[in-house]
Structure formats: structure tokens, C-alpha cells
Amino acid sequence: MTAFSDKNFKASDYSTFRPQYQDTWFRDILEYHSRIAENKTAIEDKSSKVLDIGCGPGEATIPLIKYFNDITSIDLSAVMINQLKENMRRYQDENPDLKFNGFVSRSEDVSEFIDDNSIDLVTAAECVHWFDIEAWF
């Protein structure tokens, strides 16, 4: 993780050149979420809250805007979070109902800024290898 956290790391290049996730991946997540959600209306009106862990500059976070209006994203790297915030500005202007927060945090420390039972869906796209698995669970 040291390369991604280095203040000279070019997160904008990473954001530009990293492959994007397929729409089918997001549809599968949404389909699963809608099956288990207690309040189907929350799915239809985008009021469910999502937490994207290991968000990087937003490869999974940004497409989630199509489905959710309340998104919190965390990453170990301040450089990545800063790039995500820059990437999100345009979408926040286009989506006035969008609530977005980005934090520098380990996945294991998420309870420091997320209230218990306040998140409807958690995503972690290709980042679990950075987790302290025992502490996470």
C-alpha cells in the first residue's frame, strides 16, 4: 500500500487507466440487495445507504451513484480519497440529492465514523487483501 499512499502517487492516472467494473456487476449487487432489503421502497427511491470500502479514486463508488443517493467511501490512502473527492465533484453538481463522504480509514476502523445499523449495503471491490481479516470480522 505504500505506493498508493505516497503523496507523489498519480491517483489521477490510476483513475484514468484502471479498468472499470462491468454494469452486470452492479446489477448483480443491486438485485441481491433488493432481495434482502426490508424496505423495497428504499431501493426504488435510492434512499439506501452504501459503504464502499477500499474505494481508491472511485471505480466502484462512482457507478453506485446510479443506484444510491447516500454513499460513504473509505480507503487507506489519502491520495486516493483526495482523487475520489475530485472525481465526485461533477456528480454532486449533477445529483443534488447525493450525499457523499470520503474518509481515510482502514476497513477495520469504519465504526469510528459509521453508526451501527446505519448502512444497507457494503461493497469492497478488489481490496480485501488489504484487510486485517480477523479484525474486520
Tens-digit pLDDT profile for residues 19-35 = 788 889 888 888 888 77
Joined together, the cell numbers standing for residue 89 give 465533484
pLDDT tens-digit series, residues 23-69: 898 888 888 887 766 655 555 667 789 999 999 999 999 999 988 99
Alpha helices in the chain (DSSP H): 2-5, 11-17, 23-36, 40-44, 61-64, 78-94, 133-136
Rounded to two decimals, the pTM is 0.81
CA 88: distance to chain centroid? 11
